[in-house]
Chain A
Amino acid sequence: MTTLVVAEHLQGRLREITLELVSAAKELDGPVAVAVIARDPASLTEMVNVEGVDEIVNVRVEPEEFESDVYQQALAALIADRQPEVTLLGFTINSMGYGPAVAVREGLGFASDVYGLAQDENGLVATRSFYGAKVSAEIEFPGKRQVLLLVRPTAWPPAQGSGSASVSELAVETAGSRARHLDFEQVAASDVDITTADFLLSIGRGVGEKENLPQLEELAGKMNAILSVSRPLVDAGWMPNGRQVGQSGKTVKPKVYLALGISGAVQHLAGMKTSGTIIAVNTDPEAAIFNVAHYGSVADLFDVAEELDKLF
């Protein structure tokens, strides 16, 4: 079984997910090839040449940054040329823009947010979550000779150690791009940097009403914690993006992460699960946050917050 990994990069830097994909690929038998699709792929070759990579395939394309049409054409050409049984991309914003298009066009087996991989007598078995991550499923790909999977970030550790991969090139003709990168913008900077805090008090949808925010802000102050939030509170416009923990916000690793009323969407967990000590309070005993928490309590966050308020 040959596995093809597509490297992801941004502003000239390799993204960590690429090395995580190499670790995922190593779980399967057979050679691992990493494709680098870039204007100057050679500049990234050294960084992807880690232990376990057998071949690096450089694909030169015109745009400097990601463009979905270009990546779709390049990946289709790679699959046609190298005939990998399994192709792994990160479950990232970029991959969402072209991975499923390649799968439907080329008739591949497909699944995204995959966090487990195995092989048995029936072929490839991938594991992913359903129904708010409350249940998982093993899925298989009957009748599919080739499969494309989008892999959950942080599900595998990044591959390390220097490798001895051969480096080759694949020439790909790409037609014009119908969705063109113009510029990058940084979302408005935050008043605080949640990524350097030792102690985050993090709140989520369970807060319910905007009117309930001040008492939790006050509690965070008393506890000497920095207040952070999950995505729904940013979407509602209650808190700035800079306070958001998760894939589309910040990745944090405080000594203590106290989550009040956060159910634990996959994208949120990816941003905080390596925190030192995770304490979660949620009314739903099946909430996915309890899967990563060290301490948990099935309780109303306001009942607990009120009592905490007396102790600090």
Chain B
Amino acid sequence: MKIVVCVKQVAALGDEVEFTPDERDVDPDYLDYALNEWDAYATEEALRLRERLGSDGDEVVVVSAGPEQVEEAMRRCLAMGADRGVRLTLDGPTDPIALARALAPTVERESPDLVFAGVQSSDSVQAATGTALADLLGLPRVAVVTKIEWDGSGPARVNRELEGGLVDVVEVDTPALLTIQTGINEPRYATLRAIKQAEQKEIEVIEPEAGGEPAYRIRRMFVPSRGEGAEMLDGSPAAVAQRIAEIVRERLQ
């Protein structure tokens, strides 16, 4: 059995923001990087399936695209227990459709039984790469999965989380691509020993085949205006609490 997990190193903004001179992105100096939260759950789910069903020779392979620094996020997955990684060299951010096109040949080459991806990435929130990738691979897919029941062959029974707390139970043929929702499991922490061992695990580096045209182009980034604007309550915590108490009592009269 082989499970490929597609992961992304995401960027987060701190308290301040500056844009690049062309105003088409945020100045990277203002960004912090980490493994996408959804992808930690996807990796954990792959590891659990392998532990439950697996035998010798089974593999969990993490695939990512980006410059060398994204290997940091991949190493976290390897430290959790994934066996090896494949990184596609790709400069800078891209749209989810172009990313799926870049990932597809590499994932296909692995001939996985299941492909997992996080539902979405925290920095871009498109919820699109996994579903686009499934189409390129010719695989059935289910998006926003919160439970997987599978005995290693034949169709899997999965829960798809709909809006408002309703769950759609779906039977999906395999191989399949599933996009994994947070909360499906509790991702493990890697031990120091596992982190050390992960440094020795293989990350193969591949040049992607020429991708298609981008699905969009960013014209301009900007800081959104604050709506009508929140009235900011200043002063000590006691003063802020006093004002909140007044507002609450007034509105609930």
Q: What mask results when residues 292 to 311 of chain A are scored 1 for a CB within 8 Å of chain B, else 0?
A: 11111111100110111011
Partner of A107, one of B136, B142, B212, B251: B212
What residues on A are CB-neighbors of B95 within 8 Å?
Answer: 110-111
Selecting from A53-61, A64-72, A162-170, the interface stretch reads A64-72
Q: What mask results when residues 173 to 217 of chain B are scored 1 for a CB within 8 Å of chain A, else 0?
A: 100100101110010000000000000000000000000110111
Q: Tell me, yes or no, whether B131 is within 8 Å of chain A by CB.
A: yes
What residues on A are CB-neighbors of B226 within 8 Å?
Answer: 290-291
B131 to chain A, nearest CB (A): 4
Q: Tell me, yes or no, whether A198 is within 8 Å of chain B by CB.
A: yes
A132 to B13, alpha carbons, bound, how many Å? 8
Q: What mask results when residues 212 to 253 of chain B are scored 1 for a CB within 8 Å of chain A, else 0?
A: 110111111111101100111110011011111101100110
What residues on B are CB-neighbors of A224 within 8 Å?
Answer: 252
CB-nearest residue of chain A relative to B233?
A297
Partner of B157, one of A96, A135, A182: A182
Given known pairs A113-B126, A135-B221, A296-B231, the reply for A97 and B142 (CB within 8 Å) is: yes
What residues on A are CB-neighbors of B223 within 8 Å?
Answer: 134-136
Partner of A241, one of B13, B128, B165, B230: B165
Contacting A at CB under 8 A, from B85-100, are: 95-97, 100
Q: Is the CB of A295 within 8 A of B141?
A: no
Q: Is the CB of A250 within 8 A of B165?
A: yes
Interface-central residue, B136, B186, B226, by most chain A CB under 10 Å: B226
Partner of B169, one of A125, A183, A198, A284: A183
A199 to chain B, nearest CB (A): 6
Q: Is the CB of A185 within 8 A of B143?
A: no
Q: Tell me, yes or no, whether A5 is within 8 Å of chain B by CB.
A: no
Selecting from A25-33, A210-218, A229-237, the interface stretch reads A229-237
Q: Is the CB of A306 within 8 A of B237?
A: yes
Contacting B at CB under 8 A, from A145-183, are: 150, 178-183
Q: Tell me, yes or no, whether A206 is within 8 Å of chain B by CB.
A: no
Q: Tell me, yes or no, whether B124 is within 8 Å of chain A by CB.
A: yes
Partner of B126, one of A104, A112, A281: A112
What residues on B are CB-neighbors of A140 within 8 Å?
Answer: 216-217, 219
What residues on B are CB-neighbors of A96 within 8 Å?
Answer: 119, 127-128, 131, 143-144, 179
A270 to chain B, nearest CB (A): 9
Q: Tell me, yes or no, whether B11 is within 8 Å of chain A by CB.
A: yes
What residues on A are CB-neighbors of B241 within 8 Å?
Answer: 304, 307-308, 310-311
What residues on B are CB-neighbors of A101 within 8 Å?
Answer: 131-132, 134-135, 141
Given known pairs A104-B132, A137-B221, the reply for A281 and B165 (CB within 8 Å) is: no
A69 to chain B, nearest CB (A): 7
Q: Is the CB of B125 within 8 A of A129?
A: yes
A62 to chain B, nearest CB (A): 15
Partner of A110, one of B128, B164, B172, B242: B128
Q: Is the CB of A132 within 8 A of B123?
A: yes
Q: Is the CB of A111 within 8 A of B126?
A: yes
Q: Is the CB of A276 within 8 A of B168?
A: no
Partner of B233, one of A97, A109, A131, A296: A296
A297 to B245, alpha carbons, bound, how many Å? 13
A92 to B128, alpha carbons, bound, how many Å? 11
CB-nearest residue of chain B relative to A66?
B168
Q: Tell me, yes or no, whether A46 is within 8 Å of chain B by CB.
A: no
Q: Tell me, yes or no, whether A77 is within 8 Å of chain B by CB.
A: no
Q: Tell me, yes or no, whether B15 is within 8 Å of chain A by CB.
A: yes
Q: Is the CB of B17 within 8 A of A256?
A: no
Partner of B242, one of A241, A276, A311: A311
What residues on B are CB-neighbors of A221 within 8 Å?
Answer: none
Q: Tell me, yes or no, whether B53 is within 8 Å of chain A by CB.
A: no
Q: Is the CB of A179 within 8 A of B173?
A: yes
Q: Tell me, yes or no, whether A79 is within 8 Å of chain B by CB.
A: no
Contacting B at CB under 8 A, from A176-220, are: 178-187, 198-199
Given known pairs A184-B167, A312-B245, the reply for A99 and B218 (CB within 8 Å) is: no
What residues on A are CB-neighbors of B15 within 8 Å?
Answer: 284-286
Q: Is the CB of B216 within 8 A of A104?
A: no
* 9 interchain residue pairs of minimum CB distance: A178-B140, A307-B241, A235-B183, A100-B128, A101-B135, A303-B237, A296-B230, A97-B143, A100-B132
- Can you list 28 A-B pairs with a CB-CB distance of less than 8 A? A68-B141, A92-B163, A94-B162, A96-B119, A100-B130, A103-B215, A104-B97, A104-B100, A105-B135, A107-B212, A112-B127, A125-B219, A129-B224, A131-B123, A134-B17, A135-B221, A138-B218, A139-B219, A141-B216, A141-B217, A279-B247, A279-B248, A281-B244, A286-B17, A294-B230, A297-B234, A307-B240, A308-B244
Interface set of B (CB-CB < 8 Å, partner A): 11-17, 26, 31, 95-97, 100-101, 119, 122-132, 134-136, 140-144, 157, 159-173, 176, 179, 181-183, 186, 212-213, 215-224, 226-227, 230-234, 237-238, 240-245, 247-248, 251-252
